[in-house]
Structure 1
């Protein structure tokens, strides 16, 4: 009990110091819990729980998210599950939609509220990996007594936000553990794993949203594997991941207005007449490639005579 009281006192003391709030995202979260959500750190409580019907509706609303994330959850749990970790996938409201955990650990995690239907927002359960990651829209690691409530100071967690095809916050992926031997180094490794898995889920969501499109990597981005453009058959950008939006300064307005991928990538521009010539050359090259260089077959595919195709090939220097 003395440890719990000391934790609560520490939270109150830190949140009264403006410098501490400004310099620490954890203390800033503690202050939000007190000032905005009217919570008290000495409380012993579990997160709010949805009813079965409410959880069913939440899962239905996130059906695509769950489908695109399930394989990554299984893959991540196969790596960390035996070390006493629990995985939680939430929606953007902090509602736990999916979890992975060993049967031997289920009782303990259930008591803590690390279970489907629980709401892991700051308003529900104070400073925690999921709620604070959602509030700050960034990856968060919370080690033991960095949690707000005294009831959670034996818990350590690391969480990464997941964004949808428009770059908006859609979900959060969390690894939690109560193992005594966990330390900052180990939690840092788990944090990188959860961020990598969250990124793969984001890419799955993006590809699903633009099925049938071509995907172009943005080489100028800090993380090119995360910076993708979805491009239609006319070479117009129809979608961009958040990393691509940041790298190329794109928003929904620019994308919906009709943006050529070459312009978005700031590739060397050509005059309109040269653009038409390049488009014609590309069409002929594709037809010849598909026909394995057979000019007669390529001409039929293009709906022109063999002589006309030969003239075009000569003009475009394709011989």
Structure 2
């Protein structure tokens, strides 16, 4: 009876023009756009083993850098009957952490590797709605679209790739019937923090030969990181940095001088900046020894001193 009333409630709210919350919007998408039935009790579809292996291979670098973060998150929530999941951008579960004692329940729910938890497939749920909206969400028990999912609570955060596009969702789902919304908020905060950490590590791994700079010191929910090559050109930026600096929202980044983006000003221009950078690097490698730096640059010591004076550099 309770399940039938839930299905009726979802159907009414989904079709009500006065329902304007984000949850109602998701229910409406599930019912009207995706044509789902809230009373449908079928488990989520699961990919065949070979297809899941192919997806994992395609996301090998992400899975590699995320693994320690998933382990750490699971260590924090495992005693409260939680399952930690990492999906791709389509909502397919690629990796998970779960206690043996809780595995049967989560497997029965379909919260398992290879399962499709997109909103298109399962209606409103933590993973699918997080990916559909591109934001952190908590879907608590009867906020789920399908009646078969109302026994779980799901806390999710998106993970953005080095190209500014959505690449994954991080999910913690609870099997406990006594899970409170207050406790969900604590877990949700930890999920968001872990998602940001994965995003930052993944960004660094995507630009192994670049210097990584913090593009903004303003407090925020995500790291604003900039990847800079050996010519001091910005060649990559996290989604947060793209937003802060007004760069392309997603896709390849048009190389720009990092100093221009970060608002660093000096009195030099053009080739003088490049020369100063080259002289500074040579001095640093020679630990300030002008003669050794001059030899490294292939110029005489006197010439080196003249250039240093013109460029406003000192030495010994």
TM range (shorter): over 0.9
SS of 1:223 mapped into structure 2: coil
Which residue is equivalent to 1:26?
Answer: 23
Q: TM-score, normalised by structure 2?
A: 0.93
Cα deviation code 1:154-182 (max 9, x no counterpart): 10001111111011011111000021221
Which residue is equivalent to 2:151?
Answer: 154
Asked whether the 8 Å contact 1:216–1:231 carries over to 2, the reply is: yes
Root mean square deviation, CA, Å: 2.0
Residue from 186, 190, 196 that aligns with 1:193:
190
| Higher mean displacement: 92-101 or 38-47 | 38-47
1:65-84 to structure 2, matched below 5 A, reads 65-84=62-81
Aligned pair 1:217/2:214, yes or no? Answer: yes
Aligned pair 1:310/2:309, yes or no? Answer: no
CA distance 1:303–1:314, shift in 2 (3 Å): same
* 2: CA distance, partners of 1:162 / 1:254: 15
CA distance 1:291–1:173, shift in 2 (3 Å): same
* 2: CA distance, partners of 1:225 / 1:187: 21
Asked whether the 8 Å contact 1:221–1:247 carries over to 2, the reply is: no
Structure 1 gap ranges (5+)? none
* 2: CA distance, partners of 1:219 / 1:245: 11
Asked whether the 8 Å contact 1:30–1:127 carries over to 2, the reply is: yes
Which residue is equivalent to 1:85?
Answer: 82
Which residue is equivalent to 2:135?
Answer: 138
* 2: CA distance, partners of 1:259 / 1:253: 16
1:237 deviation in Å?
A: 1.0
Q: TM-score, normalised by structure 1?
A: 0.92
> Number of aligned pairs?
314
* 1: CA distance, partners of 2:268 / 2:311: 16
Residue from 37, 41, 52 that aligns with 2:38:
41
SS of 2:87 mapped into structure 1: strand
1:69 deviation in Å?
A: 0.9
| Higher mean displacement: 116-125 or 251-260 | 251-260
Cα deviation code 1:32-80 (max 9, x no counterpart): 1111121111222211111112211111121122112111111111111
Cα deviation code 1:6-38 (max 9, x no counterpart): 211211221222121x2x111111111111121
Asked whether the 8 Å contact 2:165–2:250 carries over to 1, the reply is: no
1:315 deviation in Å?
A: 3.8
